[in-house]
Chains A and B, each alone.
Chain A
């Protein structure tokens, strides 16, 4: 698989994304003329809409960022338990705040309650996990369901007490950006900014923690404290996201962007950026769409957008996407077939010509002979010959014989030489060879040390007698 081809795929995919984006915008813009809410949302006419969309976008960015770390720390599901554990806190804050002289419907009060019970939930998980013979999954299951159940019960009590005031509380379960005020959105914005800044500050330490906890601890890093920092950021994002995404679906924003980003890259800093981008796009489109259709829970929309981006990443991701992997496998198969063909033509005739001439040139090979050589089907062989023909490596004579061109000969010589050096290396250094043989390498020189190659060449020299190219160390059955 050539790198240029991979690059082309990446460019194509980027274009695909861009066109989807533009189509979406274009179609929406067309409708906007007719639909006034839509146009107001899309062109960000309202100050309120603007801050809500900005808030959701920043929330997605922060969630995508922190999600990378929790995913790599294999703690992704703690976020889910945490978000569910916030519900009783919301209900209790609503019920108890008036007794303490606060407004029970004010967002900061509700979020404070959410944070308190979320923190309690995490503490409960850690306690249960520390008990003998109970593992983390049990702890997560217990805390998630019990806290959520308690929350539902408390909310129903609250509903009986003051039915008129309840509409706002339910939005915490499924998310509803439509009910957000500019002040609420500013709160989210701040949370997103603080979360991102914290993660940047601790970036290296958190990476070490996620990769190799034991080593980090041995080097004197406060592993427990770093975990607390990570959990605190998850908590901040979760609490901030309650209104926009809702506690049931918050986990999606913490897991899906990070998982999607993994298909695009093998480097953490890129993964973090891509994950943050996917998160922010989900927040942006989710909030915008649910702004246009106020009855649609924004959490659901955000998650669906997120899932769409995940699917695209899964299929077209530049590092591990399905398409790239299929193409890579095909490319590898072609490269092997190509080598087999060139070497086949070369070696078929090589054994006939035991005289050394300066312009040693294998005569044409016929199709039947080549077909005998390998397990390839006739169609496969024909295809490969056509490919090599178009590359200018072989040509077909009028009588059907396949002959190497000048370039083909050089390439075949190189391949044969390389191949035989590897074979010799395997045979003479059997003890250490297995770990170093790299048949994918263009040349043996790229992998082995020059001294070793010189020794191998010498060995080949001895074996090859009067021939230009060393004889294959195999017993040649086809002669």
Chain B
């Protein structure tokens, strides 16, 4: 496959804070038009992986290609849904304002937000099913509605690759269903989504392929082949915790020196 068709290609990626590595030698390609789940225990480096892709954390080594080009060149084709907890939901803006933020890149610096932009934002809100909340202040939203707001903000970008950091965490069942429906619509439209996911029960139902991550990639490929009990045990338990303890001990020693 030509490299510009591959939405995301990660080679030899290592991210480290001082001596403690966060992710090691991560390598995988994302197949276009798929919903890809990133699965792994807490502290496995899932969010860091997404942030490294977006150049938000410094890489110790590795190369990342988005649609065959550098992140900087392709960033307009990527939509990002951060963790819901990452922002202050008491911030004095309305739901529509937040969604419009997804359009700032298109609007450009020093230009006003036009009605056309607000209409686009409104349509995205209706797509995620909370059109009637457009004028509300964001602190009045429930957790699921907050998540939908973030999704709408990513949707207005009309990106080709979406990176989502735990969109399913602590949302109600209706929101979960709505998000799954949206992801499937996106896939039908030929888009690709890389989704950090926690709930092991729904992995097989939601994702075409998975990346099992615990500091390094334990296994990666089509869900049916890779999402096995054995691989899960290798991801969540066993020898990798030993490795973790070893680095922790090293760090402690370093601090005491």
Using CB atoms and an 8 Å cutoff, list the residues of chain A in contact with chain B. 72, 132, 201, 204-205, 207-208, 210-212, 214-215, 217-221, 262, 265-268, 271, 431-432, 434-436
For this complex, 16 residue pairs linking A to B, each with C-beta atoms less than 8 Å apart, are: A201-B110, A211-B91, A211-B98, A214-B51, A214-B82, A215-B101, A218-B80, A219-B105, A220-B72, A220-B75, A265-B92, A268-B92, A431-B173, A431-B174, A432-B177, A435-B174
**Least CB distance, A144 to chain B, in whole angstroms:** 25
B42 in contact (CB, < 8 A): no
Are A219 and B75 in contact, with the CB atoms below 8 A? yes
Q: Which of A214, A271, A436 has the most CB of B within 10 A?
A: A214
B142 in contact (CB, < 8 A): yes
Are B144 and A435 in contact, with the CB atoms below 8 A? yes
Q: A219-B75, A435-B172 are in contact. Are A211 and B82 (CB under 8 A)?
A: no
Q: Mark B80-113, 1 if CB is under 8 A from A, else 0.
A: 1010001110011110011001001101011001
Are B56 and A218 in contact, with the CB atoms below 8 A? yes
For residue B86, which residue of chain A has the nearest CB?
A214
In the assembled complex, the Cα of A436 lies from the Cα of B172 at a distance in Å of 10
A-side contacts of B75, CB under 8 Å: 218-220
Are B91 and A72 in contact, with the CB atoms below 8 A? yes
Q: A211-B98, A217-B54, A220-B75 are in contact. Are A268 and B174 (CB under 8 A)?
A: no
Are B105 and A205 in contact, with the CB atoms below 8 A? no
A-side contacts of B113, CB under 8 Å: 204
Q: A267-B137, A432-B172, A435-B175 are in contact. Are A262 and B86 (CB under 8 A)?
A: no
Are B104 and A208 in contact, with the CB atoms below 8 A? yes
B18 in contact (CB, < 8 A): yes
B-side contacts of A72, CB under 8 Å: 88, 91-92
**Least CB distance, A230 to chain B, in whole angstroms:** 15
A-side contacts of B172, CB under 8 Å: 432, 434-435
B139 in contact (CB, < 8 A): yes
B-side contacts of A432, CB under 8 Å: 172-174, 177
Are A210 and B91 in contact, with the CB atoms below 8 A? yes
In the assembled complex, the Cα of A434 lies from the Cα of B88 at a distance in Å of 23
Are B18 and A267 in contact, with the CB atoms below 8 A? no
A-side contacts of B92, CB under 8 Å: 72, 262, 265-268, 271
Are B80 and A219 in contact, with the CB atoms below 8 A? yes
In the assembled complex, the Cα of A432 lies from the Cα of B91 at a distance in Å of 27
In the assembled complex, the Cα of A217 lies from the Cα of B92 at a distance in Å of 21
Q: A211-B91, A432-B173 are in contact. Are A266 and B139 (CB under 8 A)?
A: yes
B-side contacts of A219, CB under 8 Å: 75, 80, 104-105
For residue A214, which residue of chain B has the nearest CB?
B82
A-side contacts of B101, CB under 8 Å: 207-208, 211-212, 215
For residue B81, which residue of chain A has the nearest CB?
A215
In B133-172, which residues have CB < 8 Å from any A CB? 137, 139, 142, 144-145, 153, 172
**Least CB distance, B88 to chain A, in whole angstroms:** 7
Q: A211-B91, A436-B174 are in contact. Are A205 and B56 (CB under 8 A)?
A: no
**Least CB distance, A258 to chain B, in whole angstroms:** 10
Q: Which of B78, B101, B105, B113 has the most CB of A within 10 A?
A: B101
**Least CB distance, B34 to chain A, in whole angstroms:** 21
Are B105 and A267 in contact, with the CB atoms below 8 A? no
Are A211 and B80 in contact, with the CB atoms below 8 A? no
* 10 cross-chain pairs, A with B, having the tightest CB-CB distances, nearest first: A432-B174, A435-B172, A266-B137, A218-B80, A218-B54, A268-B92, A431-B173, A212-B87, A214-B82, A211-B91
In the assembled complex, the Cα of A330 lies from the Cα of B87 at a distance in Å of 32
Contact of A211 among B56, B88, B107, B174 (CB under 8 A): B88
Q: Which of B91, B92, B93 has the most CB of A within 10 A?
A: B92
Known: A207-B101, A432-B173, A435-B172. 4 other contacts (CB 8 A): A211-B88, A215-B153, A218-B80, A267-B137
**Least CB distance, A60 to chain B, in whole angstroms:** 21
Are B104 and A212 in contact, with the CB atoms below 8 A? no
A-side contacts of B142, CB under 8 Å: 435
Are A211 and B18 in contact, with the CB atoms below 8 A? no
A-side contacts of B78, CB under 8 Å: 218
For residue B154, which residue of chain A has the nearest CB?
A215
In the assembled complex, the Cα of A130 lies from the Cα of B70 at a distance in Å of 28
A-side contacts of B153, CB under 8 Å: 215
In the assembled complex, the Cα of A190 lies from the Cα of B227 at a distance in Å of 65
**Least CB distance, B13 to chain A, in whole angstroms:** 17
B-side contacts of A217, CB under 8 Å: 54, 56
In the assembled complex, the Cα of A214 lies from the Cα of B48 at a distance in Å of 12
